[in-house]
Amino acid sequence: MTKDRSKVISECRKTLGKSFKNHHFFTHNEAQAETDKRSELWKGLEQSCHFIQNNNKIHYGELSPGCKSCVEGKWTCLFIGGKCPNGCFFCPDSQSVDRAPNANGVEFKSVQSFITYLKTIGSTGVSFSGGEPLLYLDLVKEYCTAIRKEFSSTMYIWCYTSGLGVNEAALKVLKEAGVDELRFNIAAFDYDLSKLSKALKYIPKVTVEIPAVPEDFSRLKTLIKELELIGVDYLNLHEMSLTSHNEKELGLRGYKLNRLETCCNVHESEMSILKIMDFAAKNNIKLPINSCNSLYKERISCNAKIKVAAKLLDLSSRDEITNIGLIRTIGMAISRRDLNLIKKKNTMSDAFFDKRQGLLYASPQILLNILDSSPEIVPNVGIRYDMPIIVRPNSKKSEFFVERAEYTEMVELTVNDLRKIAEKKYDQLENTELLDFEVVPNGLDDLVI
């Protein structure tokens, strides 16, 4: 475990507030034992599974084309509507509030507006989620038909469903609209498989995508054999996470929590996923199994979308996109007198001097050249990170653009760390807090429970 557990649990207390007392954590010795068990499971899967994205994602067999677009940061999930009557205990969303079609916090008033958005960010995969998307079948049909017409086969399209509303008529609509894949959350209806065979007659790919409910582990071992016999194409398993909508129910079940960067997760859920993959490998199961775990969602999937957005910005060479998609800016405090001196000694291409702040913004290499050639200058260097955000102007126009939002304040940067950044030797940074903004942590090493 690479983080201080007391600090981690303190973060959980801050996140959960008054409900913290309703949740459960391992003791220090239990945490160490569970970490060892997890490491042993991961090691045992090395020969049968694919470990990608710096060990933050693991999958058994091939990934769905849709999941591949997610890994590449080219997936857009359109929440077509907000309502769902199922009331699943594990659901992370409200499901009771209706809302306009939206993706990544941007609402769309028309299909064409959404298509413009997809073109702007270069998506290759689109999914329809909710709520229960099939409650909004007419909207799904409208959007999907237009997307298929615009992008032809270059866009992979899938739709999520609990199975509610799945019948012959709905399946025909989805087929004619151009849906490539239908993903069922069979956990919503007690793992009923009856609608999967019907879907396979109409939709090219059928996937089961469910949360890994720890108490259903034994049942799932039996189910994966049945899914394989039916002809299901993929099984996606989600690690359960706490939100304000499900935390009460999850607390009542006594799950043990772990803490990553931004959310609390159910440890037993991730362990169930790894054990299912181990079972599949040992029993020669052919059904591909994908772990959609919290490590991946927090560090890779979200960051990949940020990186796509960052590439849409017209950045100068003094700004760089870090490995997690943030925009790094480095500036050096300097007087006008010193600025005039260094201009005589150095090439200042793409450097910018902010008169109001008294800061010279430049690439790490240019700043190092200045300091190396002008030993009389006292180094006073700062670093900050911005996040790219895709927005739509508040007007009738449907065009989208990317703007920079401040992510961190300017903090002091030592000359040695400036040099390490220039050399891209991030693992040698003295200020280890900068690592959170520069590199994706190793998934196996960074577990904290």
Domain coverage including residue 67: 5-308
Assess if residue 449 is contained within a domain.
no
Whether residues 201 and 267 share a domain: the answer is: yes
Give per-residue pLDDT as tens, 382-408: 999 999 887 766 655 556 778 889 999
Do 237 and 273 contact (CB within 8 A), yes or no?
Answer: yes
Whether residues 223 and 78 share a domain: the answer is: yes
Assess if residue 445 is contained within a domain.
no
Whether residues 241 and 384 share a domain: the answer is: no
pLDDT of residue 39 exceeding 80, the answer is: yes
DSSP per position, 32-60: HHHHHHHHHHHHHTTTTSEEETTTTEEEE
| Structural domain count, the chain | 2
Which residues fall within 8 angstroms of residue 392, CB to CB, at 6 or more apart?
106, 113, 117, 398, 399, 400, 401
> Where is the domain boundary, 262, 287, 308?
308
Query: Residue 29 has what pLDDT?
Result: 87
Whether residues 213 and 141 share a domain: the answer is: yes
Assess if residue 291 is contained within a domain.
yes
Question: What is the rounded distance in angstroms from the CA atom of residue 207 to the CA atom of residue 288?
Answer: 10
The pair phi, psi for residue 60, each rounded to 5°, is: -105, 115
Give per-residue pLDDT as tens, 413-432: 999 999 999 999 999 999 99
Whether residues 373 and 257 share a domain: the answer is: no
Query: Residue 26 gets which letter from DSSP?
Result: -
Assess if residue 272 is contained within a domain.
yes
Per-residue pLDDT band for 313 (boundaries 50, 70, 90) equals confident
Whether residues 37 and 71 share a domain: the answer is: yes
Whether residues 209 and 266 share a domain: the answer is: yes
pLDDT of residue 278 exceeding 60, the answer is: yes
> Where is the domain boundary, 282, 308, 334?
308
Whether residues 239 and 388 share a domain: the answer is: no
Assess if residue 27 is contained within a domain.
yes
Give per-residue pLDDT as tens, 327-375: 999 999 998 888 887 877 766 778 899 988 999 999 999 999 888 888 8
DSSP per position, 264-308: EEEHHHHHHHHHHHHHHHHTT--S-EEEE-HHHIIIIIHHHHHHH
Mean pLDDT of the chain: 90
Query: Residue 143 has what pLDDT?
Result: 98
Query: Residue 1 has what pLDDT?
Result: 42
Residue 375: count other Cβ atoms within 10 Å of its Cβ: 8
Q: What is the CATH number of the domain that holds 83?
A: 3.20.20.70
Give per-residue pLDDT as tens, 115-161: 999 998 889 999 999 999 999 999 999 999 999 999 999 999 999 99
Per-residue pLDDT band for 49 (boundaries 50, 70, 90) equals very high
Query: Mean per-residue pLDDT for 222-233?
Result: 96
Question: What is the rounded distance in angstroms from the CA atom of residue 269 to the CA atom of residue 166?
Answer: 28
Query: Residue 16 has what pLDDT?
Result: 79
> Where is the domain boundary, 287, 308, 329?
308
Per-residue pLDDT band for 10 (boundaries 50, 70, 90) equals confident
Question: What is the rounded distance in angstroms from the CA atom of residue 42 to the CA atom of residue 138?
Answer: 44
Whether residues 340 and 292 share a domain: the answer is: no
Give per-residue pLDDT as tens, 150-191: 999 999 999 999 999 999 999 999 999 999 999 999 999 999
Query: Residue 394 has what pLDDT?
Result: 60
Assess if residue 200 is contained within a domain.
yes
Query: Residue 193 has what pLDDT?
Result: 96
Per-residue pLDDT band for 107 (boundaries 50, 70, 90) equals confident
pLDDT of residue 304 exceeding 90, the answer is: no
Whether residues 319 and 383 share a domain: the answer is: yes
- Of 357, 308, 297, give the one whose Cα is nearest residue 331: 357
pTM, rounded to two decimals: 0.89
339 compared with 1, residue with greater pLDDT: 339
Whether residues 200 and 89 share a domain: the answer is: yes
Whether residues 279 and 334 share a domain: the answer is: no
Assess if residue 330 is contained within a domain.
yes
Assess if residue 209 is contained within a domain.
yes
Do 155 and 126 contact (CB within 8 A), yes or no?
Answer: yes
